[in-house]
């Protein structure tokens, strides 16, 4: 039973391993080449991600929520757009390094649109990339591609801002380690009834209140953790 639950919780990884196995059986050389390539990227991630997590944690600790909302929130408007392009363009490392940072920025009040701009800029218009593009393909090609890419990023960020809603994000967390897995949440509202100061319901899913001044009542939280029927709530600082 536990094995089945683990497989259900890691469906993508299981399917990927099956795919590698089938490919290796059909075309051994191609399968082994794919495994080596994946191993290289995993090694790269293991070298880069710890540094990214540390930097993200430091930003989370040092930069107050009000400042993030002022600079990158919905009300930041043109200033937020400019800063988002700047952050993405001067970044270093592969684009997956931007995911934990954008998750932290979202938690602190950055808008969806600005997070899209940061991710997109990080992926396709970083300054080192533009320099090499101009060197090999010419300044005119680089400049035109940059302009068209910026327009596309602005378009997509606007669409994402309108389409994505808060409840579309899979989980929400507090700095102190409290996490609600909304994919697992069955909407029973036990947590909201037991601890309404911390939990609330919206669209039949549990949410955590993110007020900075909120103090945890550990006794109530312990009750919620024990009574959640699907174990959708976890507290990493226990």
Segment 89-119, tens digit of pLDDT: 998 788 888 888 888 888 777 899 999 999 9
Is pTM beyond 0.85? Reply is no
C-beta separation of 191 from 205 below 8 A? no
Retrieve residue 132's tokens. Answer: 């090499």
pLDDT surpasses 90 at 204: no
Segment 187-199, tens digit of pLDDT: 899 999 999 988 8
pLDDT surpasses 50 at 175: no
Secondary structure (3-state) at 153 = helix
pLDDT surpasses 90 at 156: yes
Torsion of CA 201, 207, 209, 210, to 10 degrees: -160
Residue 16 CA to residue 33 CA, distance in Å, equals 15
Retrieve residue 100's tokens. Answer: 């934990």
Residue 162 to residues 101, 121, 122, 156: CA-CA distances in angstroms? 22, 20, 22, 10
pLDDT of residue 166: 61
Confidence of residue 238 (pLDDT cuts 50, 70, 90): very low
C-beta separation of 183 from 190 below 8 A? no
pLDDT of residue 13: 81
pLDDT of residue 64: 81
Q: What letter would DSSP give residue 92?
A: -
Domains, in order of start, for the chain: 2-58 (no CATH), 63-164 (no CATH), 168-235 (3.30.70.20)
pLDDT surpasses 70 at 182: yes
Helix residue ranges per DSSP H, the chain: 2-9, 11-26, 28-62, 65-72, 77-89, 98-107, 112-124, 127-137, 139-163, 190-194, 218-227
Confidence of residue 202 (pLDDT cuts 50, 70, 90): confident
Over range 130-134, report the average pLDDT. 93
pLDDT of residue 169: 65
pLDDT of residue 211: 63
pLDDT above 70 as % of the chain: 87
pLDDT surpasses 80 at 186: yes
Over range 66-81, report the average pLDDT. 89
Report the range out of 56-70, 73-87, 92-106, 170-184 with the highest average pLDDT: 73-87
pLDDT of residue 48: 75
Residue 67 CA to residue 65 CA, distance in Å, equals 5
pLDDT above 90 as % of the chain: 31
Over range 25-52, report the average pLDDT. 83
Residue 134 CA to residue 170 CA, distance in Å, equals 40
């Amino acid at each position: 039973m536990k094995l089945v639950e683990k497989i259900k919780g890691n469906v993508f990884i299981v399917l990927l391993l099956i795919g590698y196995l089938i490919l290796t059986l059909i075309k051994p050389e191609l399968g082994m080449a794919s495994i080596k390539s994946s191993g290289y990227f995993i090694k790269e991630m293991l070298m880069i991600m710890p540094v990214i997590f540390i930097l993200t944690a430091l930003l989370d600790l040092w930069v107050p929520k009000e400042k993030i909302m002022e600079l990158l929130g919905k009300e930041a408007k043109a200033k937020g757009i400019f800063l988002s392009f700047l952050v993405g363009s001067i970044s270093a490392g592969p684009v997956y390094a931007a995911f934990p940072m954008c998750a932290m920025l979202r938690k602190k009040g950055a808008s969806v649109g600005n997070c899209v701009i940061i991710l997109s800029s990080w992926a396709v218009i970083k300054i080192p990339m533009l320099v090499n593009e101009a060197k090999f393909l010419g300044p005119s090609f680089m400049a035109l591609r940059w302009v068209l890419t910026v327009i596309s990023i602005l378009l997509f960020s606007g669409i994402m801002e309108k389409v994505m809603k808060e409840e579309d994000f899979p989980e929400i967390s507090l700095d102190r380690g409290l996490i609600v897995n909304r994919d697992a949440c069955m909407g029973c509202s036990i947590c909201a009834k037991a601890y309404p100061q911390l939990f609330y319901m919206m669209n039949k899913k549990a949410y955590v209140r993110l007020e900075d001044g909120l103090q945890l009542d550990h006794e109530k939280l312990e009750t919620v953790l024990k009574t959640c029927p699907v174990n959708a709530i976890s507290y990493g600082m226990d």
